[in-house]
């Protein structure tokens, strides 16, 4: 039977995993490396008679000697039982119910062990005809939970009761071999949740691992399934992929596996075999700059990244509007901006606060060349001036000539004293003198004299 013919009911088979128990003496994880808040949750669950495990990326990162970003917990307590134990608990999620234990800004996520959703249960699971899980509130044992996890390196559990690690899928071995490997049949698992393809790429780049051959093989021909993922979820995933410090490398690997294209169809229209288009040059430039800012601990704004990524597709649309609908340049850019953003948010739901900033950055590209009179001084007072200028500099690196000269002028103007600024503007005014107003003929006086 062809894998493409797998029915939802048949796509729910999970492999039988063999437990490898790693005692405290055999691993390097210490409770000193676990956050105090995570330990509080683990101990309280354990004291109440429930199983409590640190799980997933937290265990993986600790074994690798890294500092985990999050400390997630798995337990046999139901969300309702968890809520009774913790006053600072909030239940979230429809696809799968989760408990968030809040300690100020620090949130510890607690999940109930997941079971096999094809079994009869009072909790409801639901799949699409493509095999994608739409709802997954089915609870089970730790063994079943391990089978339901995506990658072997995320199926390791640190037991707070005896400090042992439960490794169900050979995760420790894959950590040593630096491999990203899916648990179960890769095509089935990707169809259940196509975002797993993005996660495979993200973990491979983040950990500097290779994607195991069978895990990698189906990705390219299943990449189109990402079109069925809600655009709000893909927005969050796009930030994880491109704005966590390894965006440039992640983008190139996404392109290799045809995963960037369904997320950014408008941009991918301008892809070339040799990565030579202005759109591709800008992608490399803005993602590299974003990575550098993150490394330096500077703030980043998703709107700036999206503004840069969509700029040349927007200009191409503006050229089309001028050619086909006789738009003036300014009007064409404004309308093209609306059309390109409207198209992009269909796949990635960029929030309105960011789309407004994107438009401001684009509009500044039209205003920055106009520096005569008091305009240059007024432009510098605008809230988004710095973002507009930074983008102008990037454009200068790609376009050269007039754009690069304009960016240099603005760089000098910002760093100059008031007298020099006035002189620079005077030079602009001198090079572009205002036309003298035409004198109005006094027709009334002539009419009187004629009478």
- Per residue, the 3-state secondary structure of 102-131, as one string, reads EECCEEEEEEECECCCCCCCCCCEEECCCC
pLDDT tens readout for residues 173-188: 999 999 999 999 999 9
pLDDT given for residue 138 in this prediction: 79
pLDDT given for residue 93 in this prediction: 85
Please say if the pLDDT value at position 95 is more than 80: no
Residue 417 backbone dihedrals phi, psi, to 5 degrees: -75, 175
Please say if the pLDDT value at position 7 is more than 90: no
Tell me how far apart the alpha carbons of residues 179 and 198 are, in angstroms, rounded to a whole number.
Answer: 16
Region at 90 (left for phi over 0; alpha for psi -120 to 50; beta for the rest): beta
The residues, ordered by sequence, that sit 6+ positions from 140 with a Cβ below 8 Å of its Cβ are 113, 114, 115, 116, 148
pLDDT tens readout for residues 103-137: 999 999 999 999 875 544 444 444 545 544 444 45
pLDDT given for residue 18 in this prediction: 85
pLDDT tens readout for residues 61-77: 999 999 999 999 999 99
CB 336 within 8 A of CB 318: yes
pLDDT given for residue 313 in this prediction: 98
pLDDT tens readout for residues 233-257: 999 999 999 999 999 999 999 999 9
pLDDT tens readout for residues 198-221: 999 999 999 999 999 999 999 999
72, 145, 174, 291: the catalytic one is 72
Question: Is 331 known to be catalytic?
Answer: no
| Nearest by Cα to 367 from 333, 319, 322, 317 | 333
pLDDT given for residue 375 in this prediction: 94
pLDDT given for residue 130 in this prediction: 53
Beta strands in 162-271 (DSSP E): 165-167, 179-180, 210-211
Tell me how far apart the alpha carbons of residues 333 and 367 are, in angstroms, rounded to a whole number.
Answer: 12
Element (H, E) at 344: helix 329-344
The residues, ordered by sequence, that sit 6+ positions from 233 with a Cβ below 8 Å of its Cβ are 195
pLDDT band (50, 70, 90) for residue 143 = very high
Residue 133 backbone dihedrals phi, psi, to 5 degrees: -75, 120
pLDDT tens readout for residues 366-415: 999 999 989 999 999 999 999 999 999 999 999 999 999 999 999 999 99
Please say if the pLDDT value at position 290 is more than 60: yes
Least confident of 10-19, 30-39, 159-168, 421-430: 10-19
Tell me how far apart the alpha carbons of residues 34 and 68 are, in angstroms, rounded to a whole number.
Answer: 9
For every residue of 254-298, DSSP letters joined together read: HHHTT-HHHH-HHHHTT--TTS-SHHHHHHHHHHHHHHHHHHTT-
Residue with the bigger pLDDT between 431 and 145: it is 145
Collapse the DSSP code of 210 into the 3-class scheme (helix H, G, I; strand E, B; otherwise coil) and give the result: strand
Average pLDDT of every residue of the chain: 90
Domains assigned to the chain: 17-177 (3.30.460.10), 281-431 (1.10.3090.10)
70, 185, 210, 288: the catalytic one is 70
User: Pairing relation of β-strands 133-136 and 89-92?
Assistant: unpaired
- Chain centre distance of CA 342: 18
What is the dihedral sign for C-alpha 204, 205, 209, 211?
Answer: positive
Question: Is 150 known to be catalytic?
Answer: yes
Q: Over pLDDT 70: what percentage of the chain?
A: 87
136, 145, 150, 291: the catalytic one is 150
Burial of 390 (0-12, 13-18, 19+ CB in 10 A): middle
pLDDT given for residue 347 in this prediction: 97
Element (H, E) at 22: strand 20-22
Report which DSSP code applies to 135: E
Maximum distance among all alpha carbons in the chain? 117
User: Model's pTM, two decimal places?
Assistant: 0.85
Range with top average pLDDT, 37-46, 96-105, 140-149: 37-46
HSE-CB of 66 using CA atoms within 13 angstroms: 13
pLDDT band (50, 70, 90) for residue 429 = confident
Report which DSSP code applies to 139: B
For every residue of 38-75, DSSP letters joined together read: HHHHHHHHHHTT--EEEETHHHHHHHTTPPPS--EEEE
pLDDT given for residue 254 in this prediction: 98
pLDDT given for residue 382 in this prediction: 95
Tell me how far apart the alpha carbons of residues 80 and 98 are, in angstroms, rounded to a whole number.
Answer: 10
Least confident of 144-153, 163-172, 433-442: 433-442
């Amino acid at each position: 039977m062809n894998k493409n013919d797998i029915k939802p009911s048949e796509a729910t088979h999970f492999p039988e995993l063999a437990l490898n128990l790693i005692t405290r003496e055999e691993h390097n994880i210490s409770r000193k490396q676990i956050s105090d808040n995570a330990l509080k949750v683990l101990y309280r669950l354990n004291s109440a008679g429930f199983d409590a495990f640190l799980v997933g990326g937290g265990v993986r990162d600790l074994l690798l000697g890294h500092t985990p970003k999050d400390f997630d917990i798995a337990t046999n307590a139901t969300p309702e039982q968890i809520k009774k134990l913790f006053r600072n608990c909030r239940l979230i999620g429809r696809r799968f119910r989760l408990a968030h234990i809040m300690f100020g800004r620090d949130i510890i996520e607690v999940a109930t062990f997941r079971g096999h959703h094809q079994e009869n249960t009072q909790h409801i699971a639901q799949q699409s005809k493509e095999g994608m899980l739409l709802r997954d509130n089915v609870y089970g044992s730790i063994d079943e939970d391990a089978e339901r996890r995506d990658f072997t390196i995320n199926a390791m559990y640190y037991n707070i009761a005896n400090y042992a690690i439960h490794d169900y899928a050979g995760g420790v071995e894959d950590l040593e071999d630096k491999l990203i490997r899916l648990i179960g049949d890769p095509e089935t698992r990707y169809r259940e949740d196509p975002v797993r393809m993005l996660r495979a790429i993200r973990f491979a780049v983040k950990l500097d691992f290779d994607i195991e051959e069978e895990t990698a093989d189906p990705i390219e021909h299943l990449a189109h399934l990402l079109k069925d993922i809600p655009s709000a979820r893909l927005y969050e995933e796009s930030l994880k992929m491109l704005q966590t410090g390894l965006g440039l490398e992640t983008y190139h690997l996404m392109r290799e596996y045809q995963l960037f294209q369904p997320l950014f169809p408008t941009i991918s229209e301008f892809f070339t075999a040799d990565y030579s288009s202005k759109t591709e040059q800008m992608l490399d430039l803005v993602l590299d700059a974003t990575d550098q800012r993150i490394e330096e601990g500077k703030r980043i704004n998703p709107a700036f990244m999206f503004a840069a990524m969509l700029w040349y597709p927007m200009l191409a649309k503006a050229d089309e509007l001028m050619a086909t609908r006789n738009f003036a340049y300014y009007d064409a850019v404004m309308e093209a901006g609306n059309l390109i953003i409207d198209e992009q948010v269909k796949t990635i739901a960029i929030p309105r606060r960011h789309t407004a900033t994107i438009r401001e950055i684009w509009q500044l590209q039209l205003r920055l060349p106009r520096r005569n009179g008091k305009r240059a001084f007024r432009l510098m007072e605008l809230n988004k001036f710095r973002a507009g200028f930074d983008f102008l500099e990037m454009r200068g690196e790609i376009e050269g000539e007039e754009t690069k000269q304009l960016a240099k002028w603005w760089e000098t103007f910002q760093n100059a004293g008031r007298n020099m600024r006035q002189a620079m503007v005077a030079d602009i005014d001198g090079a572009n003198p205002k036309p003298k107003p035409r004198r109005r003929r006094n027709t009334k006086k002539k009419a009187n004299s004629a009478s």
